[in-house]
Chain A
Amino acid sequence: MSEPAGGDRRAAAGQVAADVADETRAVRAAVDAVRRGDREAFGKLVERYERRLFGLTLMAVRDPAAAEEVAQDAFVRAFTHLDAYDEQRPFYPWLATIAVRLSQNWLRARARQGGHASVPLDPNLDAGSGPDPLAEIVADERDRRLWRLVAALPSGQRTAVFLHYRQQMKVDEVARALGVTSGTVKTLLFRARRRLREAMAADAGAARGEEKST
């Protein structure tokens, strides 16, 4: 694929800036309305962010039912603690911070209850026979393979990768969400990339082997 020309890139950057400004305006309006007592306005925030938040919680907990529950809890927590939200900062990183903390709590609770038995999207498990639960959520086969590679990373690494690369959050925002320093996030990302490079190389080798055999 060819690189976009300079003019196209500037236009794309301008479009992104305009989208961000629109989002900021819409979020502020909704937050103001909720603070004035219009709780229906919070529904607009739910609609705007449900997909992003569900993606994050699914990557964090790797269980669709639990991810939905955690995402719901995160929205409810955001609603009840809206007074704590600083309007000078973007809304999604604040919401993601809540979701990450709740996901961590869920993972801790599950670990106390005894392991991985109930986690259908855990990539460390042998998929075995039967329908692939991830296929119901992610249609494209290549996307599923990439998802599995990232989901196989340790909890902190996969969440950091998803927040930073997929959801375009800055390192300091990711650090705030994970409750660690920016240096720790850089280390997590570095280790994640190293592991992913190895996993991608192995995956590509396996794919080539499959092609030759067919």
Chain B
Amino acid sequence: MTDATNPRTMDTALARLPEPPAPAALSAATRARIARIEHQPAARRGRARRAAASAGSDRLQWIWALAGHAVGTGALVYVTLAGAFAPGVTSPRAGSGLRGLVGMPDATPVALVLAAGLLIFVTALLAPLRRPR
């Protein structure tokens, strides 16, 4: 066939490997298959839009959950600090057993804030479960 010991001859032979003609139906069959495919750029744009909307919604839920968390933490800090600095109303005669007790501030506004914080937090936390897939 060729002088097989010569590397250049082999390169030339390999570069001349036959490239058989494609079957006559290949182009037509491929075009037909492509014609049956859903219009990809439009479909892909739609998917991208849905993904972007979903990412935005996730971000909002995170913000709400963190806000609820912040409100709850704020209320707890308030209760702790208010309790620590509240004037002691127990009698000194009650003895050392009551020394650890502190006077509670008015609980109604704190409880309301805590409840609101908890509600926001839980609502945001459970939002992905309500979202239709």
Taking Cβ atoms with an 8 Å cutoff, the residues of A that contact B are 35-37, 39, 42-43, 46-47, 50-55, 58, 64, 68, 71-72, 75-76, 79-80, 82-83, 137-138, 140, 142-147, 150, 161-162, 165-166, 168, 193, 196-198, 200-201, 203-204, 207
Residue of B nearest to A51 (CB): B22
Q: Which 10 A-B pairs have the closest CB atoms?
A: A165-B14, A200-B4, A54-B22, A143-B18, A55-B19, A137-B20, A50-B22, A166-B17, A201-B4, A75-B30
Known A43-B34, A204-B1; further 16 A-B contacts with Cβ < 8 A: A42-B31, A43-B31, A50-B30, A54-B21, A71-B30, A72-B26, A76-B30, A83-B44, A143-B16, A143-B18, A146-B1, A146-B13, A147-B17, A165-B14, A165-B15, A197-B5
B interface residue count range (under 10 / 10 to 19 / 20 to 34 / 35 or more)? 20 to 34
User: Is A80's CB under 8 angstroms from B37's CB?
Assistant: yes
Q: What is the chain A residue whose CB lies nearest that of B21?
A: A51
CB distance B14 to A150 under 8 Å?
yes
> How long is the Cα–Cα vector from A168 to B15 in the complex, in angstroms?
8
Interface residues of B (CB under 8 A from A): 1-2, 4-5, 7, 10-11, 13-23, 25-27, 29-31, 33-35, 37, 39-42, 44
CB distance from A95 to the nearest CB of B (A): 12
A79 touches B20 (CB 8 A): no
* B27 x A207 contact (CB < 8 A): no
With A37-B41, A137-B20, A161-B14 as contacts: A46 and B31 at CB distance below 8 Å: yes
Q: List 7 A-B contacts (CB under 8 A).
A: A42-B34, A43-B31, A51-B22, A68-B23, A137-B21, A138-B20, A197-B4
Q: Which residues of B contact A83 (CB under 8 A)?
A: 41, 44
A47 to chain B, nearest CB (A): 6
Contact B7 A193 (CB under 8 A): yes
